Amino acid sequence: MFIRTAASTLRQAARRQSTTALATRSISTSSGQQGARSTAFRFGTAAAAAAAVTFGYTLLTSKQESLVVHADSSVPIYGVPGTSKERTFIAVKPDGVQRGLISDIIARFERRGYKLVGMKLLVPSQALAREHYADLSSKPFFAGLVDYMTNGKAPVVGMVWEGPSVIKQGRIMLGATDPKAAGPGTIRGDYCLTIGRNICHGSDSAESAQKEISLWFGGKGEVVDWTSNNEEWIISDN
C-alpha cells in the first residue's frame, strides 16, 4: 500500500516537476548558457525532490502547502510520552522575545541534547490564548494574561521539543513559575523577577503537551519527524 502510494505520489511529483522544468526552460533559453545551466540545476533539483518521494516523503499538492515537503510520519505530532519520541510545547512569551532571549532558550534545549521538531513565530489570537490558559480562566489575572500574550507588542515563539523525559526536564530547565522561587541555572532563575513576566512556558504533563501541541501546531509539516545524526551519541543506552 505504502509502495503504491509512494509510486503514485512519485509519478505526480515527477509530472509536476517536469512541468516546472519546462516552464523554467522557456524562461531561461533567452539568457543562453546561463539559462541552460540554470535549467540543468533546476531540473537536477526537481529530480532530487522527486527521488525524495521514494524515501517516504510526500510532496503536498495544495497551493498553500506547495513549497512544503514533509515526512509522512507515523508518530503523532504530540509524540509518544515515555519514549525518546516524547514531545513538549515550549514557548518564549512576549517578554522573552522583547528581551532578545529566544536564542538563549533554544540553545539551552539544543545543548542538553533535545531536538527541535516544530517552531513558529506568531501573535496568538485571543481564542488561542484563552484556550491555552483555560484552566486559569477564573483567576483575577486571566484577562491581563490574555492581553499580554495577544496584544502584539511582541510575538510568541512556539516550539515543540523532543527527547527522553522532555516534559519533566523542560519544566526543570524553565524553573519555578514564580521566578522568586526559581533556582540559579534555570531560565527563570537566571533571567526573571516576577511571575507576570516569567518569559517562557512549558507543558506540565503529557496531557498538557498533547493539548498544547495540537492547539498551537497541526498544519501539515508543522511538526517534523526527523533524525539527528547525533542521536546515537546522545540517547543510546549501552
Ligand X SMILES: Nc1ncnc2c1ncn2[C@@H]1O[C@H](COP(=O)(O)OP(=O)(O)OP(=O)(O)O)[C@@H](O)[C@H]1O
CB of 98 to ligand X, least distance (A): 14
Residue identified by cell 503523532 is 76
> Exposed, middle or buried, 18 (CB in 10 Å: 0-12/13-18/19+)?
middle
The answer to whether the annotation marks 198 as part of a ligand binding site is yes
- Told to check if 158 binds ligand X by CB under 6 A, we report no
What angle, 0 to 180 degrees and rounded to 10, lies between the N-to-C axes of helices 2-28 and 32-54? 170
CB of 47 to ligand X, least distance (A): 46
User: Quick one: 82 or 196, whose CB is closer to ligand X?
Assistant: 196
- Told to check if 215 binds ligand X by CB under 6 A, we report no
Contacting range for ligand X; rule: CB under 6 A; set: 28-36, 39-47, 122-130, 195-203:
195-203
CB of 96 to ligand X, least distance (A): 11
Contacts of 75-81 with CB under 8 Å at 24 or more apart are 75/225, 77/118, 77/160, 77/213, 77/214, 77/217, 77/218, 77/222, 77/223, 78/209, 78/210, 78/213, 78/214, 79/160, 79/162, 79/209, 79/213, 81/167, 81/206, 81/209
**Cβ distance 93 to 201 under 8 Å?**
yes
Q: For this structure, is 70 an active site residue?
A: no
Residues in the chain: 238
- Distance, in Å, from the CA atom of 194 to the CA atom of 180, rounded to the nearest integer, reads 7
CB of 203 to ligand X, least distance (A): 8
User: Quick one: 115 or 201, whose CB is closer to ligand X?
Assistant: 201
Q: Which of 17, 201, 210, 216 is catalytic?
A: 201
CA distances from 72 to 26, 59, 66, 192 (A): 34, 10, 15, 40
Within 10 Å of residue 131's Cβ, how many Cβ atoms? Answer: 15
User: Quick one: 44 or 196, whose CB is closer to ligand X?
Assistant: 196
Output the residue with the shortest Cβ distance to ligand X: 177
Contacting range for ligand X; rule: CB under 6 A; set: 47-55, 112-120, 159-167, 194-202:
194-202
CB of 15 to ligand X, least distance (A): 47
Residue of 170, 198, 210, 213 interacting with ligand X (CB under 6 A): 198
Cα 33 to chain centroid distance, Å, stands at: 40
- Told to check if 145 binds ligand X by CB under 6 A, we report yes
- Told to check if 202 binds ligand X by CB under 6 A, we report yes
Q: What is the contact surface with ligand X in residues (CB under 6 A)?
A: 136, 141, 145, 177, 195-196, 198, 201-202, 204
- Known binding-site residues for ATP equal 93, 141, 171, 177, 188, 198
Enzyme catalytic residues: 201
- Known binding-site residues equal 93, 141, 171, 177, 188, 198
